[in-house]
């Protein structure tokens, strides 16, 4: 593909007729009309509960809800029973920490994670280690924002039960060498959980090819609605895991003495699920597949190169993460000397540009970089070179206003 635009901005109602430069897709993405319509279709046409009714409306709701599962399974090359609907990446990781972790971690074992993790893939393991009197080991990053694999190797041993690592950093944009990490962890007998929140929206993910054991991601970061995400668990592990929440839909039989549970995925989906959320998530995945993940990767590759080239030329800017742009996604965390990140974000907002300022839920990483906060501009398929130009112009304007006037 040789185009500088994917020509899909018209599909996003929020972008119509307004001067919006949305550069906060790592926090949550915009939603295309087909996703909004799918959610609305459920609420306005067949808003019955799923798996329960013997009437047509409920059967339609069940069909549409269950259609989302194979779409998601296909999207990451998994099988349907391995796709568990959860609220988001955070809940997916907590489910593994509570269920797999409680049963498989013992005093003296260790868990290994990296300093670049989002709090969602850090705190659940830190807490689990405390509960189980296990060791919580954190490996370092290199100066260029890539994972320090030497340090990783040092942290691994035969007592390592799980390695939890992000596929793509939500701050540095670094794309991590997951297959290498999985291979090394498996050699020590440890399982591997991948936080895919920032990867699945942007790059083709194949869980079989990665050979990991758990993979978590959120619908709202990939054009879907908030409130729904996926936990993928390798079948052999899933079959040994106990249920997380108990209640309706997850049981096979209940007596006064006890209960027997359904198979996966129902076993892990107690209670009424986010029905419209899953339907919207299915529509989002269809949309991404229609645009084509390969074309999305190619488009974002060009856009990130353009953005990096333009941003790097701004005086007194520090961009965090790999300077080898091929090692990262289109996420740029930066600081501009003399301007507090929050002030910069507010000034950019005046120009209709939405960026994030703060620690982006990565306090250990920011501490490691010697920072309290940074500004983050994250790009997605609806962003253009024009958005980059507007961002650069607005940063320069802020510099003139705040630095020259001080």
What residues between 206 and 225 interact with ligand PLP by CB under 6 A? 218
Strand 353-354, strand 331-336: pairing: unpaired
Q: Which is nearer to ligand PLP, 68 or 361 (CB)?
A: 361
Strand 135-139, strand 110-114: pairing: parallel
Helices (H), 188-274: 207-210, 235-238
The rounded distance, in Å, linking the Cα atoms of 217 and 223 is 12
Q: Which of 25, 29, 62, 88 binds ligand PLP (CB under 6 A)?
A: 88
Q: Which residues pair with 276 in a beta bridge?
A: none
Query: Quick one: DSSP state of residue 117?
Result: -
The rounded distance, in Å, linking the Cα atoms of 193 and 96 is 9
Q: Which of 24, 109, 195, 387 binds ligand PLP (CB under 6 A)?
A: 195
Based on the shown chain and the rule CB under 6 A, indicate whether residue 197 belongs to the binding site for ligand PLP: yes
Least CB distance to ligand PLP at residue 167 (A): 8
Tokens of 61: 């709701």
Helix, strand, coil percent values for the chain (each to nearest 5): 45, 20, 40
Q: Which of 113, 160, 166, 335 binds ligand PLP (CB under 6 A)?
A: 166
Q: Which has the closest alpha carbon to 324: 305, 342, 306?
A: 305
Least CB distance to ligand PLP at residue 27 (A): 6
Based on the shown chain and the rule CB under 6 A, indicate whether residue 118 belongs to the binding site for ligand PLP: yes
User: Which of the ranges 53-61, 114-122, 266-274, 300-308 carries the binding residues for ligand PLP, by CB under 6 A?
Assistant: 114-122
Q: Which is nearer to ligand PLP, 26 or 384 (CB)?
A: 26
* Contacts with 70 (C-beta within 8 Å, 6 or more apart), sequence order: 80
Based on the shown chain and the rule CB under 6 A, indicate whether residue 114 belongs to the binding site for ligand PLP: no
Least CB distance to ligand PLP at residue 331 (A): 9
Based on the shown chain and the rule CB under 6 A, indicate whether residue 276 belongs to the binding site for ligand PLP: no
Q: Which of 94, 113, 120, 335 binds ligand PLP (CB under 6 A)?
A: 120
Q: For the chain, how far is it from start to end, CA to CA, in angstroms? A: 47
Least CB distance to ligand PLP at residue 11 (A): 22
Q: Which has the closest alpha carbon to 352: 391, 318, 316?
A: 391
Q: Which of 25, 89, 335, 378 binds ligand PLP (CB under 6 A)?
A: 89
Assess contact for 264 and 73: CB atoms under 8 A: no
Based on the shown chain and the rule CB under 6 A, indicate whether residue 176 belongs to the binding site for ligand PLP: no
Least CB distance to ligand PLP at residue 93 (A): 8
Annotated active-site residue in 212, 329, 354, 361: 361
Assess contact for 334 and 280: CB atoms under 8 A: no
Least CB distance to ligand PLP at residue 358 (A): 12
User: Which of the ranges 86-94, 258-266, 275-283, 313-321 carries the binding residues for ligand PLP, by CB under 6 A?
Assistant: 86-94
Q: Which is nearer to ligand PLP, 90 or 114 (CB)?
A: 90
Pattern of binders to ligand PLP over 8-27, x per CB under 6 A? ------------------xx
Q: Which long-range contacts (CB under 8 A, 24 or more apart) does 332-335 make?
A: 332/173, 332/307, 332/308, 332/376, 332/377, 332/378, 333/171, 333/172, 333/173, 333/360, 333/374, 333/375, 333/376, 334/374, 334/375, 334/376, 334/377, 335/371, 335/374, 335/375
Assess contact for 69 and 216: CB atoms under 8 A: no
361 is a catalytic site residue: yes
Based on the shown chain and the rule CB under 6 A, indicate whether residue 300 belongs to the binding site for ligand PLP: no
Between the CA atoms of 292, 296, 297 and 298, what dihedral angle is there, to the nearest 10 degrees?
100
Based on the shown chain and the rule CB under 6 A, indicate whether residue 29 belongs to the binding site for ligand PLP: no
Least CB distance to ligand PLP at residue 94 (A): 9
User: Which of the ranges 1-9, 87-95, 143-151, 157-165 carries the binding residues for ligand PLP, by CB under 6 A?
Assistant: 87-95
| Sites of contact with ligand PLP (CB under 6 A) | 26-27, 88-90, 118, 120-121, 166, 170, 195, 197-198, 218
The set of catalytic residues is 361
């Amino acid at each position: 593909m040789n185009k500088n635009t994917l020509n899909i901005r018209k599909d996003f109602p929020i972008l119509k007729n307004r001067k919006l430069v949305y550069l906060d897709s790592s926090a949550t993405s915009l939603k295309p009309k087909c996703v909004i319509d799918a959610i609305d279709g459920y609420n306005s046409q067949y808003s019955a509960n799923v798996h329960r009714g013997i009437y047509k409306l409920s059967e339609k709701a069940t069909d549409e809800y269950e259609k989302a599962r194979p779409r998601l399974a296909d999207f990451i090359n998994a099988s349907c029973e391995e796709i568990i609907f959860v609220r988001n990446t955070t809940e997916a990781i907590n489910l593994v920490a509570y269920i797999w972790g409680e049963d498989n971690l013992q005093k003296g074992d260790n868990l290994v994670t990296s300093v670049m993790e989002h709090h969602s893939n850090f705190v659940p393991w830190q807490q689990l280690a405390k509960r189980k009197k296990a060791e919580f080991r954190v490996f370092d990053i290199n100066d260029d924002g890539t994972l320090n694999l030497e340090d990783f190797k040092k942290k691994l041993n035969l007592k390592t039960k799980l390695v939890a690592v992000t596929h793509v950093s939500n701050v540095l944009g670094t794309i991590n060498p997951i297959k290498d990490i999985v291979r090394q962890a498996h050699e020590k007998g440890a399982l591997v959980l991948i936080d895919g929140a920032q990867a699945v929206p942007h790059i083709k993910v194949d869980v079989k090819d990665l050979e990991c054991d758990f993979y978590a991601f959120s619908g709202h970061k990939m054009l879907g609605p908030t409130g729904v995400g996926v936990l993928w668990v390798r079948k052999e592990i899933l079959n040994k895991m106990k249920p997380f929440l108990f209640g309706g839909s997850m049981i096979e039989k209940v007596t006064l003495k006890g209960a027997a549970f359904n198979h996966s995925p129902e076993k892990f989906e107690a209670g009424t699920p986010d029905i419209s959320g899953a339907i919207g998530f299915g529509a989002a995945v269809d949309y991404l597949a229609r645009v084509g993940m390969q074309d999305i990767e190619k488009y974002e590759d060009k856009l990130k190169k353009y953005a990096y080239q333009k941003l790097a030329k701004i005086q007194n800017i520090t961009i965090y993460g790999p300077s080898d742009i091929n090692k990262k996604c289109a996420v740029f965390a930066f600081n501009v000397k003399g301007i507090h990140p929050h002030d910069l974000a507010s000034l950019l907002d005046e120009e209709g540009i939405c960026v994030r300022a703060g620690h982006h839920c990565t306090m250990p990483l920011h501490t490691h970089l010697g920072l309290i906060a940074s500004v983050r501009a994250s790009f997605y398929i609806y962003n253009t070179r024009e958005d980059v130009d507007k961002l650069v112009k607005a940063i320069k304007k802020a510099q003139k206003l705040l630095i020259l006037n001080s």
